[in-house]
Amino acid sequence: MKTAIDCLPCYMRQTLQVVRLSTDDPELQLEVLRRVAELTRDMDMDRTPPENSVPVYQAIAEISGCADPYFEIKKQSNEQALALLPKIQKELSHSSNPLAVVLRLAIGGNIIDYGAMHSFDVDATMERCLKVPFAIDHSRELQRQVEALRKGASVLYLADNSGEIVYDSLLVNLLTDLGLKVAVAVKSGPIINDALLADAKACGLDRVARILENGTSCPGTPLAICSDELKQAFTEADLILSKGQGNFETLSEEKAEIFFLLTVKCSVVGAHLAEISSIQQQELPGKGELVLFHYNGNS
């Protein structure tokens, strides 16, 4: 997915939001905003939005001296989600189709995105995600493929944000209970509130799955610059599950079969998703639509 004109003011909005977390110094805040304005002027619009965001966040960190402004927020997001787990697990034990439920919870958890959203209500969103219809619903195909996998088959799960990775753990646990070998990919360095190795460990994913770092501090999975370990896992996986907008934006034109699980939070992503899925664009305005999209690599 290429960067759109509408992405440019979004970079500035995100910059202002992050720099206010990073420093109270108004002079440094202004310096950051001016630097990012210069970066947007020279951006390669053929690159994906997450790739173009990397120098933006590098500039914020360099000038403000704060490498991980969302550190405390990420910790709180994990703790909030972990506190809800016992209730969710109890409800799952009474479900006739737990895979369908955990898929919805994982997608609903994708609302926890400080890059794309100004504010949100996690509890209300998780309740809503169990009831509302998907804008794109390829869950039956995903269930069919999961059921057809042999024991020991490999699943690559591309994680997105902290907090939501707790909900991801429900799906990962279910897949491992089915005898599948799951690898969960996280980012190698801090970028917005994206999940890191520490977040995966905080929700116990390292006890049931192989955790690998993708080699980048990009809020997505730009394969060309990812680690060899990630590239190998991507190539060899029998099933690839991709969480969130950033991973979708960086992988939506790859020649690979991927199931994209996301909450659509911007009109640019919605328009691109509509284009490659043959869904009417008005069905994906970018206002929180739930999507489970089976991409076969040549849509």
Whether 244 and 131 map to the same domain: the answer is yes
Considering the domain architecture, whether residues 246 and 186 belong to the same structural domain is answered as yes
Same domain, 53 and 105: no
pLDDT value, residue 68: 95
Selection from 299, 203, 209, 197 nearest residue 254 by Cα: 299
Q: What's the confidence (pLDDT) of residue 273? A: 96
pLDDT digits (tens, 9 = 90+) for 161-214: 998 899 899 999 999 999 999 999 999 999 999 999 999 999 999 999 999 999
pLDDT of residue 113: 46
Q: Where are the beta strands (DSSP E) in 113-193?
A: 136-137, 154-158, 181-186
> Is the separation of the CB atoms in 98 and 92 below 8 Å?
yes
Residue 242 in any domain: the answer is yes
Residues 229 and 82 in one domain: yes
In-domain check, residue 72: no
Six token digits for residue 227: 């680690």
Domain-embedded: residue 70: no
Examine the domain organization and report whether 248 and 124 are in the same domain.
yes
In this prediction, the residues of the chain whose per-residue pLDDT falls under 70 are: 110-129, 298-299
Total number of domains constituting the chain = 2
Structure confidence at residue 206 (pLDDT): 96
Range of the domain at 11: 7-64
Query: In terms of domains, do 83 and 204 share one?
Result: yes
Residue 274 lies in a domain: yes
- Residue 177's identity, in one-letter code, is D
Shared-domain flag, residues 92 and 209: yes
Whether 231 and 131 share a structural domain: yes
Residue 220 maps to which CATH number? 3.40.50.10880
Judge whether 1 lies within some domain: no
In a domain, 2, yes or no: no
220 in a domain, yes or no? Answer: yes
35: amino acid identity, one letter: R
State pLDDT tens for residues 52-62.
999 999 999 99
State the amino acid at position 96 in one-letter form: S
CA pair distance 220, 246, nearest whole angstrom: 4
Q: Model confidence over 67-85: pLDDT tens digits? A: 999 999 899 888 888 888 8
Q: Is residue 174 in some structural domain? A: yes
Write b or e for each residue in 82-116: b if 16 or more Cβ atoms lie within 10 A of its Cβ, otherwise e. Answer: eebbeebeeebeeeeebbebbbbbbbbbbbbbbbb
Look at residue 121 in the predicted model and tell me its pLDDT: 58
Predicted pLDDT of residue 104: 87
C-alpha span between 88 and 92 (Å, rounded): 6
Query: Is 221:253 a contact under the CB 8 Å cutoff?
Result: no
Whether residues 50 and 179 fall in one domain: no
